[in-house]
A and B are shown apart, each in its own frame.
Chain A
């Protein structure tokens, strides 16, 4: 096994970190380990060091093609390698593929859990509701329950109105 840093010498220092259920391993040759201060800092901030190490590795690969360019802000893969930061929110789409591994090493998951802007949450709830109502309507029609179908159609109409209202009224 070769050292993850220099990719030349055989890896002799092997470190494992467990964050929740995920195991992260780093394999280094003695020289690189010493260089990173791993051998002379027992216990101290090793995990921090490792997280940084793994991350910087991924960081180097995350730019993807150096000439990949964000259509909104003009930021390139080469720029990301240099700065370690992105150009604009659209960059997350532009560089999505190459960012995936980086996010895996950095974070607990790769999908957002937590707060969602209110306007989005409302429209998401309404969209979900719309889908459910549509299903119910389909069933009512096949079962020839026309009274129920009429009620459902009214409900669908008012939900659509709410959604439209949200889309036009929410933006500043």
Chain B
């Protein structure tokens, strides 16, 4: 079975729901583990990496949570397949660049994904829709406990789990959530929020993690420190911070609607106008406009349209997903045409946004 046949369609994945999914797109908990006495992937020679992969892969495949999983070595996945996995947030950009000696095991529900020989021998992650950090931690903790009976992990009582990069040392945990924050961006409060979150020792990153832009007003919040704090404490701390960010985002939206409704309706109306009528559009512009449309859906400006449609378009308009629908290799310019065609077609039946203007609002923007 190819990865393309294995993965659920974006129609299905965008229908997954979870708590607070109006703002929290997804939750993730990742653990880094290494085998004792074996060089880390970045330092090991290829034959050694292959040997490690061959030792780890069957152990991961035999996990009870991996029944019916997809398992493959990275050299057997095409460049397009790898990019699709990145666009689905199932593997990292670093893992996408890997070839022989690295591998991937992904469960049927796409909620559990193990990268073998990425930066560490094992990078295992549990994914959940919406805000479900605790659930994700419980799931990955179970996987780790089952795996430690089969593999000898490098662990020191003083330093904890030993990782290739000292930044992951200790618990080897990275807890993160992807947040859609158009209100805070429009209200120009996002930098304050980022500064506040940073002060708490947490990192804010763009859509695809380390070193990427916050396309489509999507931000990833995660812990930075892994040594000296227990996993559950990190999870709880992040959970509380995210609840606060959700509150700030909701307040920003309410405040914007109260003080500058026309500005908000203008952004959303223009976004719809372009998406529904475009003939050439880049994936970056698409994401930024879809973000505004998603905000419009949240504000009930598109009756009968659910978030799932916007979330699906968010995925299928990305370069690799678009390319996958066509057999011939597309240049970036051709993709921009086909992306526009797809958007016009999918939005053909979506009616123009309908702002809910309070009856006694008078001139909409206060001019004092």
Contacts and interface: CB of A to CB of B under 8 A. Distances in A.
Interface of A: 17-20, 43-48, 51, 55, 62, 72-73, 75, 79, 83-90, 92, 99, 102-103, 106-120, 124, 171-172
Interface string B183-215: 000000001101100111101100000000000
Contacts of A89: 34, 36-38, 40, 154, 156, 162
A112 B167 CA distance: 13
Which 5 pairs between the two chains have the least Cβ-Cβ distance? A109-B228, A112-B160, A89-B154, A47-B198, A107-B227
Given A47-B199, A113-B228, A171-B152, A85 B169 contact: no
B251 to A, nearest CB: 19
A113 B229 contact: yes
A103 B166 contact: yes
B209 to A, nearest CB: 14
Interface of B: 34, 36-40, 42-43, 119, 141, 144-145, 148-162, 164-167, 169-171, 173, 191-192, 194-195, 198-201, 203-204, 224-232
A100 to B, nearest CB: 10
B170 A114 contact: yes
B40 A86 contact: yes
Contact of B153 (A18, A43, A83, A117): A117
Nearest to A79: B43
17 contacts: A19-B225, A43-B192, A45-B195, A45-B198, A51-B198, A51-B224, A75-B43, A85-B164, A86-B40, A87-B43, A89-B38, A90-B37, A92-B156, A102-B166, A112-B161, A113-B230, A114-B171
A108 B191 contact: no
A73 B150 contact: no
A114 B171 CA distance: 7
A12 B312 CA distance: 50
A115 B171 contact: yes
A20 B159 CA distance: 20
A106 B192 contact: no
B39 A109 contact: no
A106 to B, nearest CB: 6
Contacts of A48: 198, 203-204
